[in-house]
Structure 1
Amino acid sequence: MALGLQRTGRIVTAAALLFAIALGSFATSQIIFIKELGVGTAIAVLIDATIVRALLVPSLMALLGKANWWAPAPLRRFHDRFGLSETDARPTPEAVR
């Protein structure tokens, strides 16, 4: 689960940051209502991403267990055929010792 959090954390944060920047650009408007809307939604997205990353993603990953890594049959066959894997096949220095 820790590895999954490590890998998904960057995605959630990057998506939230990009979305907040896009919404925050409304703050440059000359219309006050649009400025308020842009700043408010940008802050809401950043707060939501923090809560999602800190609470929702870990709890759902713990709840779903191995189902987190389910893949559709065609994608699983593709990975098996070409030897693609989620883990690094090279040995780590700790494993060599």
Structure 2
Amino acid sequence: MAKRKITVTVDEEVLAKARELGDAHLSAVVNAALAEHVDRMARRDALRDLLDGWEQAVGPVADDDAHDAAAAFDELEGIGFGREIA
């Protein structure tokens, strides 16, 4: 895969901790973290599209069910998928 050099700003504490833990290849660390984040975002968007399709097909999801689904997703992924619960 092609690489592109960019400039990023990282909190000093995070950088110090990474170095303390022995990770001298910071470009690889940043690349891995960004790749993981992008992958999570793609899965979140796919889940949102799936749920929106189901909602259009069968009607609105009950608030309790939407909350439970969001909590389960958060637990699995560490992020929510941005669906507002009224």
TM-score range, shorter chain: 0.3 to 0.5
Name the structure, 1 or 2, with higher relative contact order (CA <8 Å, separation 6+).
1
Select the structure that is richer in helix. Answer: 1
When the two structures are superposed, what TM-score results if normalisation uses the length of structure 2? 0.37
Question: Which of these two proteins has the greater Rg computed from alpha carbons?
Answer: 1
